[in-house]
Amino acid sequence: MEKRAIFSSKLLPYLLLAPQLAITLIFFYWPASQAVKESFYIQDAFGTTSDFVGFDNYKSLFEDPYYFHAMGVTAVFAAVVTAASLSIALLLAVQADRVVRGATVYRTLLVWPYAVAPAVAGVLWVFLFQPSLGILAHALQRMGYDWNPTLNGGQALALVMVAAVWKQISYNFLFFLAGLQSIPKSLIEAAAIDGAHRARRFWTIVFPLLSPTTFFLVVVNIVYVFFDTFGIIDSVTGGGPAKATETLVYKVYQDGKLGADLGGSNAQSVILMIIVIALTSIQFRYVERKVTY
């Protein structure tokens, strides 16, 4: 029998929804509408006057080779960070689900990095890989590897990726572990009795049942990479060297805050919003079909 919530007052449901709707309107729809509006204007150097320029900001944006470079960096960054953080988190969750002695301590240690702010996480990895002071940087140099992310763009991007993956693993771990613990143990035991080895049990039973969790985390991780990695990039590399780690969200800040091009920065934020919405829609339209509920 289906259970439904029954409210004594018709006004009560709207009152319960009002705080969340207000937060959404104030902190998302209102800034988004302002960004769309300001993207059609150009301001003077002091920000006192604005002139309507139509689509000129968008036109100049797509004529900028650095913008397409930032798109490429973002695509590589998003793919690597999403895949690595999900894979490592799933591996750790599978191992944590099997641990009996010390399981609470093990899980707590894996969750802790999620409480670290992105900027702090970036600074921690900078200390570890700083060419002259970092412990891990010295280890790489002793092995004969010329490590210097302040000059090498590829190494700088790799360092930012490592920091972003480390920061996100804990979040993914929590959801994967909860998903694993919700799977009935009787299914796994029945497959084991039928002779299915551990790897086969995982790929034919466990992983398909985790598909709703995996789909949710893919969407969340892509949003995380596009927006929430700003603090890591700013604290680790500042978009350098030579724009090697400048993603779309950091370019919005670079051109708007530091370059004082508010109209172009707003145009970039609108395009970034469209890209994220499009990627999310594609995932719900095509990827969700393969999800087993």
Question: For position 47, what pLDDT does the model report?
Answer: 66
Give the per-residue pLDDT at 97: 81
Cβ-in-10-Å burial (0-12, 13-18, 19+) of 205 comes to middle
Beta carbons within 8 Å of 89's beta carbon, 6+ residues apart: 168, 169, 170, 171, 172, 173, 176, 217
Q: What is the pLDDT of residue 117?
A: 87
Q: CA 1, CA 201: separation in Å to the nearest integer?
A: 34
Question: 18: which strand partners?
Answer: none
State residue 3's pLDDT score. 63
Runs of H (alpha helix) within the chain? 12-24, 30-38, 56-62, 65-98, 103-111, 118-129, 135-142, 153-181, 185-193, 198-201, 207-209, 211-223, 230-236, 248-253, 262-286
Task: Indicate left, alpha or beta for 116 from its phi (over 0: left) and psi (-120 to 50: alpha).
Answer: beta
pLDDT of the residue at 89: 93
pLDDT of residue 45: 67
Residue with structure tokens 């030579």? 242
For the chain, residues with pLDDT lower than 70 are 1-5, 7, 45-47, 99-102, 292-293
Closest C-alpha to 137, from 157, 155, 123, 120: 155
3-state secondary structure of 11: coil
CA distance 70 to 239: 10
- ω before 131 within 30° of 0 (cis)? no
